[in-house]
Structure 1
């Protein structure tokens, strides 16, 4: 296992639902390190890095990342294919209000890219399949309403 892979594995471990080592998670990053959730467009730095971990643990208390493939690409870049798994047990905030938990089991395909500097994470770009997560939680697109709204916009 390469040193870069060890750094990435330690960050994942700190964010596990049965661990939740917020200091360890945050200390995996450089002082100016950033986590980018590419499915929502949100970015987190500094103490806000904790928000990512606490949000996931609040919605999916047993959150676990099943690491399928870790590739140290050299030049301090690590690419990971994984499944983010958990049981939907906490409210999920939406623009229309919180979605009530229903106990659904989720297993979301995700691609993560880590860019490291001086033995820490400088940038972490996370690409979770949000559409799959929502479908597994029982949230399905309402195409009829979308078509109606689109027609009314004309």
Structure 2
């Protein structure tokens, strides 16, 4: 499998619209629905991605089947509605199957059903301008693997065992790996691995090693 040269695209360039999904050229700032790329659709009316839209993505393999393109369109839409400037919780939740789950693997949290609606507001509560910089995308049937960074400004509040950590304006750039598992065009399982050590360090939250040592 031939890898592309290093290229990234902000998740906000996946512009979701009622009739489908379009991909605009990747700007340095978050894009808005004002971008006017035309979305393609299959004969069944399911959103699809055009060759031009695919060319703007950091794909490891561009030879995707229609089924794979449609799965990718669903995932890109979920990234778009998770952007801090235009979070859309109902659209995110509706993309999951009835028994679909979101696993914050590193954090040890699982969300399902109505609880899925808490995922996006939580991140926005930390970083009001949260967005995901997609670095590398691999599509293999119903499985989509993505290397990305969660970025934003720590201007919210973090609930910690010691109390509330207030935002300080620090910029955050946390390495992340996402694995999406789809079934019949819906997300059955979403496993998210966030580099929390880097995220907390960027936020100015340091581990209390002395306290840990003193407990032994």
Greater length-normalized contact order (CA 8 Å, ≥ 6 residues apart): 1
* Distance across 2 between alignment mates of 1:50 and 1:88: 21
Q: TM-score, normalised by structure 1?
A: 0.94
Q: 2:66 matched to which residue of 1?
A: none
1:44 aligns with 2:111: yes
Residue 17 of structure 1, CA deviation: 0.5
Count of aligned residue pairs for this structure pair:
149
Residue 144 of structure 1, CA deviation: 1.6
Q: Which has the higher Rg, Structure 1 or Structure 2?
A: 2
2:84 match: secondary structure:
coil
* Structure ranking higher in helix proportion: 1
1:114 aligns with 2:192: no
Q: TM-score, normalised by structure 2?
A: 0.67
1:22 aligns with 2:22: no
Query: Any unmatched runs of 5+ in structure 2?
Result: 1-53, 55-68
1:143 aligns with 2:204: no
Query: Any unmatched runs of 5+ in structure 1?
Result: none
Q: Which runs of 4+ in 1 moved over 4 A?
A: none
Q: CA RMSD in A?
A: 0.9
2:215 match: secondary structure:
helix
1:54 aligns with 2:127: no
* Distance across 2 between alignment mates of 1:59 and 1:143: 24
Residue 149 of structure 1, CA deviation: 1.2
